[in-house]
Structure 1
Amino acid sequence: MIPEQQFEEIYNENYHKVIGLCLGYVNGDEDIAKDLTQEVFIKVWENLKTFRNEASISTWIYRIAINTCFQQSRKKKFLPLTIDVPDEVGEEKFPTEKRYHNMYACINQLSEINKSIILLELQDIPQKEISNIIGISYEALRIRIHRIKNQLSKCVQNERL
């Protein structure tokens, strides 16, 4: 397969996963997420010939995406997500959207590594693949995910992390 076709296939298979991860890092700012996603795929294109098949291509791309998002979050701190919906309308018409925004606001309070873990988990990435992406054992990952979910539950219920 010629490199352009290979890259196009990789891009099509992984674009939605990468932009979903980036959106989580930038509090849903689509413009920044698209820029980060583009940066990720530029890095994939530039380094595709050095990919050694030691992990799956998607694991390798997630690692690039996480590193790219880490670098961006170090440069610029993103404001927590807020939703400005009047209470009388918000409680009746938008309860799911409000919970969704509250959850992501809580996720953004996590450490960078825990944030990466839960964003990958929310995208239904298999936990064994997440452990490879993050570089920790599967057992340690399972324990960490359990603790992260407990933290998020408390946060969403307006308790402190």
Structure 2
Amino acid sequence: MEDEKIIKLDSYRNLIDLSDKDKAIDEIMKEYTKDVYLLAYSFVKDQGFAEDISQEVFIKCYNNMDSFRGDSSIKTWIYRITVNTAKDFLRKRNFNILKFPIMFFDRFSDEHSTEQKVFNNLEKEELLGTVLSLSTRYREVIILFYFYDLKVEEIAISLQISVNTVKTRLSRGREKLKGIIDLEGGDLHG
């Protein structure tokens, strides 16, 4: 009989018993639903499609739970599934990128005045619009690194590319962002 697979969630607040798939998927969904949705949305820019992709991601997680080896964190594994599912969707649909909502930044909220919140939201929306203007190869590493706080190694695993490729894309993406901001004559930070 196979040993029970019990792993910690990335937040280290719970243990997940992967041998009980129903309970495990409930815990995974509680922890990652919002992040999976937002990551999917960063690719497709449509609420309905992002919801569909999110559902598909969790179905894939459930169906493939037995294949999770623990070589990476659960978070990295789920993000890899999300990225691949979103890319598959885009390939199938030849989908055009639309506008990204400010709700992406909900998890970064803080205690400021209403005026400061409005200013910050406009600044974040402008920054995100600039990030979204980058090609997919640069956009995905920047979003995973800066907005999802993944390490370079985790991004490499999630995107199934080498660590050096991630570093190169981050560097070039930053350069392109700086060039766009300079061209627009703006400074997103005041």
TM-score by length of 2: 0.66
3-state SS of paired residue (1:12): helix
Distance 1:13 1:21, change over 3 A: same
- Contact 2:42 2:100 (C-alpha < 8 Å) held by counterparts: no
Gaps of 5+ in 1: 84-91
Which string of whole-angstrom CA distances, capped at 9 and with x for unpartnered residues, describes residues 137-160 of structure 1? Answer: 33442232122112122224445x
Amino acid of the structure 2 residue aligned with 1:143? T
Number of residue pairs matched?
150
- 2:133 equivalent to 1:116: no
3-state SS of paired residue (2:64): helix
- 2:51 equivalent to 1:34: yes
- 2:75 equivalent to 1:58: yes
- Contact 2:156 2:163 (C-alpha < 8 Å) held by counterparts: yes
Greater helix share, 1 or 2? 1
Structure 2 counterpart of 1:128: 153
- Cα RMSD for the two superposed structures: 2.7
- Contact 1:25 1:108 (C-alpha < 8 Å) held by counterparts: no
Structure 2 counterpart of 1:78: 97
Gaps of 5+ in 2: 1-16, 103-115, 185-190
- 2:124 equivalent to 1:107: no
Distance in structure 2 (CA, Å) of the matches to 1:124 and 1:3: 27
Percent identity over paired residues = 30
TM-score by length of 1: 0.76
Distance in structure 2 (CA, Å) of the matches to 1:32 and 1:107: 20
- 2:179 equivalent to 1:154: yes
Distance in structure 2 (CA, Å) of the matches to 1:30 and 1:115: 19
Amino acid of the structure 1 residue aligned with 2:39? L
Distance in structure 1 (CA, Å) of the matches to 2:39 and 2:180: 21
Q: Tell which has more relative contact order, 1 or 2 (C-alpha 8 A, sep 6+).
A: 1
Distance in structure 2 (CA, Å) of the matches to 1:119 and 1:80: 15
Distance 1:81 1:4, change over 3 A: closer
Distance in structure 2 (CA, Å) of the matches to 1:106 and 1:134: 22
- Contact 1:82 1:102 (C-alpha < 8 Å) held by counterparts: no
- Contact 1:70 1:112 (C-alpha < 8 Å) held by counterparts: no
- Contact 1:117 1:130 (C-alpha < 8 Å) held by counterparts: yes
Deviation of residue 66 (structure 1)? 0.5
Structure 2 counterpart of 1:97: 121
Distance in structure 1 (CA, Å) of the matches to 2:101 and 2:148: 22
- Contact 1:82 1:105 (C-alpha < 8 Å) held by counterparts: no
